[in-house]
Amino acid sequence: MLFASLDPIHMRILAVLPPDSRRRFEHSLAPVHYLLPEQDISAATRALTDGVSDALVIDPTVIPDPAFEALIAAMTVRPTTVLVYTPLSTVGARRVVRIAELGPHELVLRDFDDSPDELRRKVAALVRPSVSAMLLASVAPQLRGLPERLQIATVRLFSAGQRVRWVDELAESAQLGRRTIDRWMSRAGLNGSAMLLDTTRLAQVWEPIVEQKRRPSDVASAYGYSRLRLLVSHTRRIAGVLPAELGTMSREQFAVRLSGALTTR
């Protein structure tokens, strides 16, 4: 996979998207990258197998079941970096989890967090996966068995635009009671809904603090922490460091700490 450098590189990108999503993605793509001509899913799978592309952008909800299984098989044989760009339905959430089980891949939700800037940022992350992508990949096996509504609500937390702060909001989204959610989390090997919210939100602060050099107080406000001390508390409790000390570890190390806090097995 293309994880070696954070510098922009020329990528040949293969997109399997509905027409409106393809247009939005194409308009957001930096000139340094090349969007390959449109192909149906069978041709795209062959192109992936043949190594024609460097990265794949897909909406898995528009792919028929047999073709999706063929795509998963091709991705297993020939790993590639993937950006999943989809409206999050039951099918979409289930397939996001299937793809994440193959490794860290980026997620953008259609009409939710797909501004041109965010799409460009996610394409750049194909070179080296975001902390959110690595965290999702690490817990994908646990997410597989969650009920449909809870799986949708949970997968949504890994998108950049998600700002759920309280378990009650997650419960409303999943249409389940808090205790029911935590029972499902426990069965799946996850350390509860509160830790799920804490780790998925904390996953998003590494890049702005470490790479963009933004002040922790500004990041706290931008990412839904009502006070800086809450970000400090979460970072110290979950990652073992202060926000200003996040740069002492790699993004991979940070993702491992988040995963360790979130999973129970």
CATH, residue 38: 3.40.50.2300
pLDDT at position 32 is 76
Averaged pLDDT of the chain: 90
Neighbouring C-beta atoms of residue 165, cutoff 10 Å: 15
Instruction: Report, as an integer, the average pLDDT of 169-192.
Output: 94
How far is it, in rounded angstroms, from Cα 147 to Cα 211?
36
On whether residue 1 sits in a domain, the answer given is no
Task: Give the 3-state secondary structure of residue 86.
Answer: strand
Q: Identify whether residues 182 and 85 lie together within a single domain.
A: no
What residues make up the domain containing 171?
A: 140-262
145 and 256 together in one domain:
yes
- What is the per-residue pLDDT for 9? 63
Structure tokens at 131: 């902390």
Contact by Cβ (8 Å): 227, 183: no
Whether 177 maps to a domain, the answer reads: yes
Residue closest to 37 by CA, chosen among 59, 67, 15: 15
Question: pTM of whole model > 0.75?
Answer: yes
Tell whether 7 is covered by a domain: no
Instruction: State the average pLDDT over residues 217-231.
Output: 91
φ and ψ at residue 64, rounded to 5 degrees: -60, 155
Using CA atoms, how far apart are residues 228 and 242, in angstroms rounded to an integer? 11
Work out the average pLDDT over 160-173. 83
From start to end of 65-113, where are the E strands? 81-86, 106-109
The domain boundary residue, chosen from 129, 161, 181? 129
pLDDT reported for residue 5:
36
